[in-house]
């Protein structure tokens, strides 16, 4: 079954080379019960590790059932350890968070046979622990824990059972029980190899190999090995199928088991996992809340821009360069209705035109007073500025010409002056002049700086000559027929104003023409930049959470080093270990992401209620934050997972 040919193994310990195995040659037949003995440092454990494919020799050959497996790859070695060899360790190496039955099931996971968990139950019962299978290791005695380890070693029905000091930590009674169990397993056809330094243990075996300084110095075979041809044939078939990749491992089943293992690990370290999840939770919550603020601000600006109308040009006196500075007489172009009339004749470009004046006015209704913005506008104002009354009507062109004292009021004015009373048809005073309310403007909302509904609109002529006593128009709005004509219309208007007011080159900056579409683009770009800035700041906190996960996972790898060594010993490949730790990292990120979405959405709603800021949680931001959190889990979990997967199984099992 097993043959070693001139095997050497040397370890480097500082500047000193230690020959653990020095030209060892050995044959072990099927069905043997072998004890390997020797003092500490004799090389017996190294020999077992090489026999169990946990280590590889520096030179020499290792034949298993006649096949040379000296230089097997990591994955093939793991498959053979899982299917061909069962390990029993001196320290038991049971996972404390699992029951006896779950510990026994572990090798089935890496064999893709979790569905055969009844076999684990059978093995637990076979070692006499049927009544204790649902107990955790800390609830079992040393002898019972070793029995669980034996059941775990047998669950995949291996042909070879290897035990490293299996009775070293047991009392005499438990020691006898374990040796009796190993003898019974050997009687049933298992090849049993144990490493021990106790003569009374070796007496139970039929062959004793003694080692010293890395060499076999004695080989006492008490009786002839049994001929188990059917076992050897089974070995050869099993090894051939395993090396050919026909080992029955199913990815989907294993993936689900990895998920169960990850959840179990998280639950066993609740506080540590909670802190990791908290970092992602805060990061995702911040991303959601910040993007909601940005989206809300954008939507609010879009609504305000919509209220300005579309395809608008604004003509106003004064230069943009000197705005806010008092200018001498004649330095500013003053606009009158003559300019409005001339501009309205550009019918191939201009769809509507609206002159406007504005100022503050004191409103009085009954015993109530209110100071508000008073605007004088043309009859086309309602259509141009998305201000068609929700109740009543807007004033007509005839009412503008006759300077009628009619008013259309905003929602805020209606609430403040009229309360629950219908304002239509009522009379209010604007700067001590009586006006009849004929309509109520649609609600446009307010921001931190301006309430768009706190306004009264009256005919422009009435405002100029009756309310404010103005001789000139403050501004002229023009609605252009299509966006494509905006630039051409702007040029035509510039030429027209220059011509009407006989302006020379030095006076051409005495007025300005603003393209409202350009203002829209500028505001939209600014809002987009702010959203990206807020999102980036929030993403930094998410990255910090990811670093927290990486730190926790690195700590977890260190704490679970012996567990990793155990998993590799029972058949886990590097990929299995990496995927398992990566799933754990991604799972924590995912849970943090889901909780973060709830936190971010709740925070956004709270901001809206307490501060009054406009917020909007979009589906895109939720998906983005969740996906980002998963990506963070993968990226920051990858290094710890790779570190775990690359641990040497021998060094990991010895880790303290």
CA-CA-CA-CA torsion sign (494, 499, 501, 505): positive
Q: Identify the pLDDT of residue 252.
A: 53
Q: How long a stretch of residues is the chain?
A: 656
Under the banding of pLDDT at 50, 70 and 90, the label for residue 248 is very low
Q: Is the pLDDT of residue 46 over 50?
A: yes
Under the banding of pLDDT at 50, 70 and 90, the label for residue 200 is confident
Question: To 10 degrees, what angle do helices 619-645 and 516-559 make?
Answer: 30
Interval 63-71 mean pLDDT: 82
Higher pLDDT, 260 or 36: 36
Domain spans, the chain: 2-249, 266-302+522-654, 334-502
Indicate yes or no: pTM above 0.85.
no
Residue whose structure tokens are 């380890």: 149
Q: Identify the pLDDT of residue 246.
A: 44
Contact present, 217 and 210 (Cβ < 8 Å): yes
Contact present, 108 and 155 (Cβ < 8 Å): yes
Tell me which of 314-323, 447-456, 542-551 is least confident.
314-323
Q: Identify the pLDDT of residue 240.
A: 55
Q: Identify the pLDDT of residue 223.
A: 58
What is the 3 state secondary structure string of 482-516? CHHHHHHHHHHHHHHHHHHCCCCHHHCCCEEEEEH
Domain 2-249 has CATH 3.40.50.300: yes
Interval 426-439 mean pLDDT: 94
Under the banding of pLDDT at 50, 70 and 90, the label for residue 465 is very high
Contact present, 418 and 411 (Cβ < 8 Å): no
Terminal-to-terminal C-alpha distance of the chain: 34
Q: Is the pLDDT of residue 400 over 70?
A: yes
Determine which helix (DSSP H) or strand (DSSP E) holds 22, and give its type and residue range: strand 16-28
Q: Is the pLDDT of residue 256 over 80?
A: no
Q: Is the pLDDT of residue 430 over 90?
A: yes
Interval 621-650 mean pLDDT: 81
Phi, psi of 10 (to 5 degrees): -125, 135
C-alpha–C-alpha distance, residues 562 and 94, integer Å = 10
Q: The tokens of 216 are what?
A: 């076999």
What confidence tens digit (pLDDT) does each residue in 547-570 have?
877 887 787 788 778 888 888 888
Contact present, 342 and 500 (Cβ < 8 Å): yes
Q: What is the three-class DSSP state of 524?
A: helix
Average pLDDT of the chain to the nearest whole number: 82
Q: Identify the pLDDT of residue 16.
A: 81
Phi, psi of 573 (to 5 degrees): -85, 170
Determine which helix (DSSP H) or strand (DSSP E) holds 439, and give its type and residue range: strand 433-440
What's the half-sphere exposure (Cβ side, CA atoms, 13 Å) at 585? 33
Phi, psi of 77 (to 5 degrees): -60, -40
Higher pLDDT, 91 or 361: 361
What confidence tens digit (pLDDT) does each residue in 289-333 have?
877 877 777 777 666 655 555 678 889 998 755 444 444 444 678
What confidence tens digit (pLDDT) does each residue in 362-397 have?
999 989 999 999 999 999 998 888 889 999 999 999
Under the banding of pLDDT at 50, 70 and 90, the label for residue 600 is confident
Q: The tokens of 191 are what?
A: 């090849």
Q: Where are the beta strands (DSSP E) in 333-432?
A: 350-365, 368-377, 391-392, 406-409, 427-430
Interval 47-74 mean pLDDT: 85
Determine which helix (DSSP H) or strand (DSSP E) holds 101, and give its type and residue range: helix 100-111
Higher pLDDT, 297 or 214: 214
Q: In the chain, what percentage of residues exceed pLDDT 90? A: 19
C-alpha–C-alpha distance, residues 585 and 347, integer Å = 67
Strand partners, 375: 358, 457
Interval 49-77 mean pLDDT: 84
């Amino acid at each position: 079954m097993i043959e070693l040919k001139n095997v050497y193994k040397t370890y480097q310990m500082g500047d000193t080379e230690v020959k653990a195995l020095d030209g060892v040659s050995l044959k072990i037949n099927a069905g043997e019960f072998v004890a390997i003995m020797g003092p500490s440092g004799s090389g017996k454990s190294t020999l077992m590790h090489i026999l169990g494919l946990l280590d590889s020799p520096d030179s020499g050959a290792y034949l298993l059932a006649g096949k040379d497996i000296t230089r097997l790859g990591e994955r093939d070695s793991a498959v053979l350890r899982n299917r061909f060899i069962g390990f029993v360790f001196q320290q038991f190496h049971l996972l404390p968070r699992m029951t006896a039955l779950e510990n026994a099931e572990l090798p089935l996971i890496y064999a893709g046979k979790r569905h055969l968990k009844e076999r684990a139950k059978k093995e637990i019962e076979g070692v006499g622990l049927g009544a204790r299978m649902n107990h955790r290791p800390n609830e079992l005695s040393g002898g019972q824990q070793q029995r669980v380890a034996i059941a775990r070693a047998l669950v995949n029905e291996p042909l070879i059972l290897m035990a490293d000091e299996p009775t070293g930590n047991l009392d005499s009674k438990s020691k006898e029980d374990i040796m009796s169990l190993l003898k019974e397993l050997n009687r049933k056809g298992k090849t049993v190899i144990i490493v021990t330094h106790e003569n009374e243990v070796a007496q139970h075996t039929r062959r004793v190999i003694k080692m010293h300084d890395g060499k076999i110095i004695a080989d006492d075979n008490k009786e002839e090995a049994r001929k188990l041809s059917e076992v050897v044939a089974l070995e050869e078939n099993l090894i051939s199928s395993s090396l050919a990749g026909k080992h029955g491992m199913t990815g989907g089943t294993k993936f689900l088991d990895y998920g169960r293992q990850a959840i179990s690990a998280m639950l066993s370290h609740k506080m540590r996992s909670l802190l990791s999840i908290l970092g992602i939770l805060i990061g995702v919550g911040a991303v959601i809340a910040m993007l909601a603020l940005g989206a809300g601000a954008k939507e609010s600006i879009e609504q305000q821009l919509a209220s300005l109308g579309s395809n608008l040009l604004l003509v106003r006196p004064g230069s943009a360069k000197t705005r806010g500075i008092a200018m001498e007489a004649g330095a500013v172009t003053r606009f009158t209705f003559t300019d409005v009339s001339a501009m309205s004749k550009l019918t191939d470009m201009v769809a509507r035109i609206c002159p406007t004046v504005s100022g503050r006015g004191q409103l009085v209704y009954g015993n109530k007073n209110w100071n508000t913005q008073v605007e004088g506008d043309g009859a086309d104002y309602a259509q141009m500025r998305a201000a068609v009354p929700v109740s009543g009507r807007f004033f007509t062109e005839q009412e503008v010409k006759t300077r009628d004292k009619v008013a259309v009021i905003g929602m805020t004015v209606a609430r403040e002056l009229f309360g629950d009373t219908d304002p239509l048809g009522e009379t209010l005073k604007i700067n001590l002049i009586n006006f009849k309310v004929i309509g109520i403007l649609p609600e446009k909302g307010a921001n931190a700086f301006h309430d768009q509904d706190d306004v009264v609109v009256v005919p422009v002529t009435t405002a100029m000559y009756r309310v404010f006593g103005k001789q000139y128009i403050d501004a002229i709005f023009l609605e252009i027929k299509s966006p494509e004509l905006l630039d051409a219309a702007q040029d035509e208007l510039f030429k027209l104003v220059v011509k009407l007011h006989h302006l020379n080159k030095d006076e051409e900056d005495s007025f300005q023409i603003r393209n409202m579409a350009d203002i829209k683009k500028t505001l939209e770009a600014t809002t987009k930049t702010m959203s990206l800035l807020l999102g980036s700041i929030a993403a930094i906190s998410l990255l910090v959470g990811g670093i927290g996960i990486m730190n926790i996972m690195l700590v977890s790898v260190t704490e679970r080093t012996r567990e990793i060594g155990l998993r590799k010993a029972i058949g886990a490949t590097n990929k299995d270990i990496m995927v398992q730790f990566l799933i754990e990292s991604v799972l924590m990120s995912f849970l943090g992401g889901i909780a973060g979405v709830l936190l971010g959405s709740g925070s956004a709603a709270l901001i809206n209620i307490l501060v009054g800021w406009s917020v909007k949680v979009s589906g895109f931001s939720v998906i983005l934050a969740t996906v980002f959190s998963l990506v963070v889990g993968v990226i920051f979990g990858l290094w710890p997972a790779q570190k775990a997967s690359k641990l040497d199984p021998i060094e990991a099992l010895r880790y303290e």
